[in-house]
Amino acid sequence: MGSNLLPINALERNMKNIPEFSVLPKHVGIIMDGNGRWAKQRNLPRYKGHIEGAKTFRKIGEFAADVGVKCLTFYAFSTENWKRPQEEIDAIMALFRDYLIEAEERSAENEEKGIQLRFLGDRKGIPEDIVAMMNHIESMSSDKSKVVLNIAVNYGGRHEIANAVRKIAEKVRNGEMDICDIDEDTISDLLYTKGLPDPDLIIRPSGECRLSNFLTYQSAYSELWFSDVLWPDFTEDDFLEALREFEKRNRRFGGV
């Protein structure tokens, strides 16, 4: 993915007053957490928090691409989130449906920006009309390479790994692969993120300090940044703060 991703135009950067960084993460994962608590603090139903969170998702996604981040993965809905109240699930799916409709309407703009949209997760259980839109939008943007925007829906890191193991077992059973040939690349090539760099930085707002089954395999060497800000209140300045912190980190990957 790396070599054919184009940097943001320098003049465009200056016009938008975007700061420069000595080091930028190629791939940033974001756990969009705190929507329900944001609503509760305001005596609103939980789904209202997801509406505000969706606005933040659009804002941060566009800003991150302008800054120069080439790959973004947003954790939108986990395999565990089906346990939530049905009203909340329905509201999240409705928001996702609205986003997909908007993405199709903005396809020309996204094409000009070189945005490739991908959806990570198990599509079983997701409403059929939403799955159809996901497939269509992925197909429309599959040849774009300036920015890859992943949305993790019905996603679980352990489920993803188990799914990869099943595929490997099937290949071995069918004689397509020898057990001795299984290595880390074998697993990586069977994950939803095939062809993408592992996340350099994972951001989690809302005060929680855990990954919650997000990019479990891919995050082995990710830098983690946590914030007490609830996702609907997360701003461009918060995102820049995370990038500045990443800039200071010394990533040795097990070396000295």
Name the β-bridge partners of 153.
77
What residue spans of the chain are helical by DSSP H? 10-15, 35-41, 46-67, 86-105, 107-113, 128-141, 157-173, 184-188, 236-248
* Tokens representing residue 62 in the block: 């566009």
Cβ atoms of residues 101 and 55 within 8 Å: no
Instruction: Give catalytic status of residue 135 as yes or no.
Output: no
For 82-103, b/e burial (b = at least 16 CB within 10 A) is eeeeeebeebbbebbeebbeeb
Spacing of C-alpha 12 from chain mean position? 25
In order, the DSSP letters of 73-108 are: EEEEEEGGGGGS-HHHHHHHHHHHHHHHHHHHHTHH
150, 180 contact by CB (below 8 A)? no
Residue among 4, 14, 17, 33 flagged as catalytic: 33
Catalytic residue among 14, 66, 81, 154: 81
Q: In sequence order, which residues have a C-beta less than 8 Å from that of residue 161 and are 6 or more positions away?
A: 187, 191, 216, 217
Known active-site residue 35: no
d(CA 122, CA 67): 30
**What Cα–Cα distance (Å) separates residue 13 from each residue in 18, 19, 99, 147?**
5, 8, 27, 16
Q: Which residues are catalytic?
A: 33, 81
